[in-house]
Structure 1
Amino acid sequence: MNEPLSLRDLVEAAAAKRDASGLRLAEIAEAEGFKITVTTINAIRQGTYKSKPRPSTIRAIAWLAGVTEDVAFTAAGQPVPGPPFADELPPGVDNLPPKARRAAIEMLRALVDLNRRALESLSGGSLSGGDLSETGDDALPPSWQGLAAYSGPDGHLEREREWSERGEEPQTPSEKE
C-alpha cells in the first residue's frame, strides 16, 4: 500500500476507515484525548486549510488514520519532532538557580533560532515543507560554538592568565595518601 501524500489524504483515509463525517472524526479524536476541531478536519478535507497545522493536530490525524506520527508529519511537510526535550534533561536541572536557568533557556532559544534559519535556507525561504528531517546536526552553522560561547565578565580569565605566568596552578584537593 502506498503511503498517503498529504494531510488531506490522511483525513480521507480516516473518514473511510471509520465511516465517519468530519464532526464524528473530531468527536472520536476528542474521546481519545486529542484536540482537533471539526472546522479543521473539514477544511483539510475540502483543501481550504491555509494554516500551518499544529503538532497536536497532526498527531490527532495520524491516530485517526491509523498511521505513525512520522507518516503524518511527512504528509504535513513538517520535520518529525524528536522526543520531548524535557525528558532528556539530566537529574538536578530543576535545582539550578534562576540565573543559570535563564542562561540555559536563552542558549536553547538561540540554538532553535539557528536551526530554524538553517532549515529555511535549505528549503529556499520560509519553512513551508519538504523533507527536512535528514538535516540533523548539520542544520547548525559551523560557527555555532562561537555563537554559544560565554560572553559575560572575564575577570577570572585574567586572573588565571596572571597565575599561569607566575607558574601557579589552581589548588585542587590531593588524593588521600
Structure 2
Amino acid sequence: MAISNKVYAMPPVVDANSRLLFLGSMPGTASLAASRYYGHARNHFWPILYRLHGAGVPDASYEDRLRFALAHGCALWDTIASCERKGSLDADIREAVPTDIPGLLRAYPGIEVIVCNGGKSYETLDRHHGMHPEVLRRAVLKVPSSSPIPTRQHKGLEEKAAAWLAALSPFVKPRGDAQGG
C-alpha cells in the first residue's frame, strides 16, 4: 500500500478591505504543521511585508501578523488547493489542483493587485486562470519567492526585499505616508 503525500491548502486570509492578494503555491511542511502562512521561521515573507509598509520588525504573534496584513489591505492564499508532495519544495509538487482564484476575486472585488510569491505560484495562476476576466482586470505581479533558499538572482532577504519593494511600490504606501506626503 502506497503512502499518500497529499497536502491541502489553508483557507484564505482576506476581508472586505483587501486590495492586494499575495499568492503562494502551497505552504511548506512547517507552515502546514503549524496551520500558519509562511510559518517557517526563516521564510522572508513577514519581514518583507512589514518593510513594504515601513513597519520594521514583524510582530512575534502570528495573530498580530495576520491583523497587520489585513489592516494594510493584504490578503493571503495559495494557487494550489491540493497536491502530492514530499517535503516542501515546489519542484516536488505533483497532481496539483488549483484554488478558485476567480471565485475569491468575485467575492472580494476590492482586490486590485495579485502578487505571485515565486515562479510556481505565477505559473499555476497563469496556467489555470490567466485568461479569466476576474484575473485579467487586475494587475498581476511576479516577485521572487520568499523562501529562505537562495536563487541565482536573489541570494537572501535584502535582495528579495529590494525586488519586492521595486515591484510593489506603486501599489503600497508605507505607514505615515497614507496622505501621499
Instruction: Tell me the TM-score normalized by structure 1.
Output: 0.24
Q: Which structure is larger by alpha-carbon Rg, 1 or 2?
A: 1
Q: Which has the higher helix share?
A: 1
Task: Give the structure, 1 or 2, with the largest relative contact order (CA under 8 Å, sep 6 or more).
Answer: 2
Instruction: Tell me the TM-score normalized by structure 2.
Output: 0.24
